Copies of this chain bind each other. A is one copy, B any other.
Amino acid sequence: MFEKVLIANRGEIALRIHRACREMGVRTVAVHSTADANAMHVRLADESVCIGPPAARDSYLNMSAILSAAAITGADAIHPGVGFLSENADFAAMVEEHGIAFIGPSPEHLRLMGDKVSARRAAEGFGIQVVPGSAVVDPAAAAAEARRIGFPVLIKAAAGGGGRGMRLAHSEAELASQLPAAAAEAKAYFGDGALYLERYLDRPRHIEVQILGDGQGGVVHLGERDCSLQRNHQKLLEETPSPALDADARARLAAAAVGAMRQLGYKGAGTLEFLYRAGEFFFIEMNARLQVEHPVSEMVSGIDIVREQIRIAAGEALGYGQEDVSLAGHAIECRINAEHPVSFAPSPGTIASYHVPGGLGVRVDSALYQGYTVPPHYDSLVAKLIVHGAGRGECVMRMKRALEEFVIAGIDTTIPLHQRLVAEPDFIAGAYDIGWIGRFLAAP
C-alpha cells in the first residue's frame, strides 16, 4: 500500500479522497492554490503545498507544479480526483514516468476513452450499441449519413464534452448551415474542429453504470445511476437504482458494461454513460475516473469506491466477484451549488452559518465550514447531500426532511430548487428525462 498520497484536486472531492486515505492509514498531501489556503482538505491533510495562484491553469492544471509538490513531499501516488487533470492521459503518463503511481486507469485507456470517436468505436467493438452516427468527413458525406440515420440529427464536437457546442439539425438545409459554425465552435472550445453526427433521441434518460476493474481480470459493477435531471448538461440530482428500469433492462445494461470492461482489461473506477429510451440503451461515453455522483452507488453497495481506486492502483486485486456485491435500498444525491436557486447566478462568499442535516441514512460530502469563504475561481458545487433508504419513497421523504434541516447562510445555494424538485409529482413518480429540468425551469 502507498505511504503517502498527493491529492491533486480541491473542494469536497479532495476532502473525500483525504477521508479514504485516512481510513486506510495512508498519509495525505494537499496541494492548493493561494485562493484555497484555508480549504478544509488543506487543514485536515498531513501536509500541504501551495502550487500556484488562483487560476486553475496555473495551479490545479499545472502538471509540473503538482509533480514538483509530489517530489518535495515524497508522495508515492497521486489521486487526480474529478475534473482538472483526472482524464489527462499525458499527465497520467508523466506521473508514472516519475515513478509515482497514478490513481486511475492507464494512460492508454484514458486516451482511448478521452476521444468520443475512439471510445465509440471501442464500445462497438465490445458489442455495445451506440447512438447511430459517424464522424463528419465533409458536408456531402454528412448529409448522406444524416439521411441514413434519420433527422433530426445532433452535431457534436468530436473532442467535446459537457454538452458544449452541440447543435440540432432538423433538415439537410439546417445541417449544411450549422456545420461551419459547429466546426468553428469546436475549434474554439476544444482546440479541434472535428465534428461528429448522430441520431437525436427524443426525451431519453441519462443512465450510467459504475464499474470497478482491477486490471487483473476482476470486474464488477455497482449498479446504474439515473442522472437525467440535468440543467444545461450539468447534473443536479442523481439516484440509484433508476426508477425507469425493470430487472431485465438493468441486467442487460450491467452485463454489457461489465463485458466491455473485462475485454478491455480496465483498471480503476469508471463509468459508462448511456442514453436510454423505450428499452434501448445507446452508449455515449465513458468517464475513466471517479465521478461526482459516486456516493449514491456507495450507499447501496456499501463499497467505498475511492478506497477501491487506491487499492487497485496499489496493485491489489478486487478480491470479490459480482456475486459478493449486494445492492440494497435506494439512494439519491442532491448537488448543492453556490448559485441563486432561480437565476443560477454564481454566489461565492463567506459562509455566515452552516448546519448540516444528520440522522439515519443521511450523508453530507462538503468542504464548507462556518466562516469559510467560497472563492469565485472554481466551479460552484459546495455540498452533496446524499440519502439512503429502504425504498425510493422512504428515500424521497428522507431527502425532503434533510433539505429542511440544511442551513447554508451567507451565500445563495440551490437548496430551495432541490426542495421544489423533490415535491414535484413527476419526480416523485420517477417520470423524468434529460429535458425535464429545462421544461420545469421554463414553466411559469
Which A residues form the contact surface with B (CB < 8 A)? 15-16, 19, 22-25, 44, 295, 298, 302-304, 326, 328-329, 353-356, 358-366, 369-370, 390, 394, 397-398, 400-401, 404-405
Interface pair B401/A359, CB less than 8 Å apart: no
Do A365 and B370 form a contact, CB below 8 Å, given A23-B394, A405-B44?
Answer: no
Shortest CB–CB separation between residue A125 and chain B, in angstroms? 35
Contacts of A401 in B (CB 8 A): 19, 22-23
Contacts of A15 in B (CB 8 A): 359
Measured between alpha carbons, how far is A102 from B224 in the docked complex, in Å? 42
Contacts of A19 in B (CB 8 A): 359-360, 401
Copies in the complex: 2
Shortest CB–CB separation between residue A293 and chain B, in angstroms? 14
Shortest CB–CB separation between residue A432 and chain B, in angstroms? 22
Interface pair B353/A370, CB less than 8 Å apart: yes
Interface pair A23/B398, CB less than 8 Å apart: yes
Q: A299 — nearest CB in chain B belongs to which residue?
A: B360
Q: A15 — nearest CB in chain B belongs to which residue?
A: B359
Interface pair B298/A397, CB less than 8 Å apart: no
Contacts of A328 in B (CB 8 A): 302, 326, 328
Measured between alpha carbons, how far is A163 from B245 in the docked complex, in Å? 55
Q: A390 — nearest CB in chain B belongs to which residue?
A: B302
Do A329 and B302 form a contact, CB below 8 Å, given A23-B398, A353-B370, A370-B370?
Answer: yes
Contacts of A22 in B (CB 8 A): 397, 400-401, 404
Interface pair A360/B24, CB less than 8 Å apart: no
Interface pair A360/B304, CB less than 8 Å apart: yes
Quick one: which of B24, B355, B405 contacts A397, CB cutoff 8 A?
Answer: B24
- With contacts A22-B401, A304-B361 known, what are 10 further pairs, Cβ within 8 A? A22-B400, A25-B397, A44-B404, A298-B360, A302-B329, A303-B390, A304-B390, A353-B370, A355-B369, A356-B356
Contacts of A362 in B (CB 8 A): 363
30 A-B residue pairs with Cβ-Cβ distance under 8 Å, sorted by A, are: A19-B360, A19-B401, A22-B397, A22-B400, A22-B401, A23-B394, A23-B397, A23-B398, A23-B400, A23-B401, A24-B397, A25-B397, A44-B404, A302-B329, A302-B390, A303-B390, A304-B360, A304-B361, A304-B394, A326-B328, A353-B370, A354-B355, A355-B369, A355-B370, A356-B358, A358-B365, A358-B366, A359-B363, A360-B363, A370-B370
Shortest CB–CB separation between residue A354 and chain B, in angstroms? 8
Shortest CB–CB separation between residue A400 and chain B, in angstroms? 8
Interface pair A365/B356, CB less than 8 Å apart: no
Contacts of A366 in B (CB 8 A): 358
Contacts of A295 in B (CB 8 A): 360
Contacts of A361 in B (CB 8 A): 304
Q: 9 smallest A-B Cβ distances: which pairs?
A: A22-B401, A23-B397, A358-B364, A19-B359, A23-B398, A355-B369, A23-B401, A298-B360, A304-B360
Measured between alpha carbons, how far is A369 from B363 in the docked complex, in Å? 17
Shortest CB–CB separation between residue A407 and chain B, in angstroms? 8
Measured between alpha carbons, how far is A329 from B44 in the docked complex, in Å? 27
Interface pair B363/A358, CB less than 8 Å apart: yes
Contacts of A329 in B (CB 8 A): 302
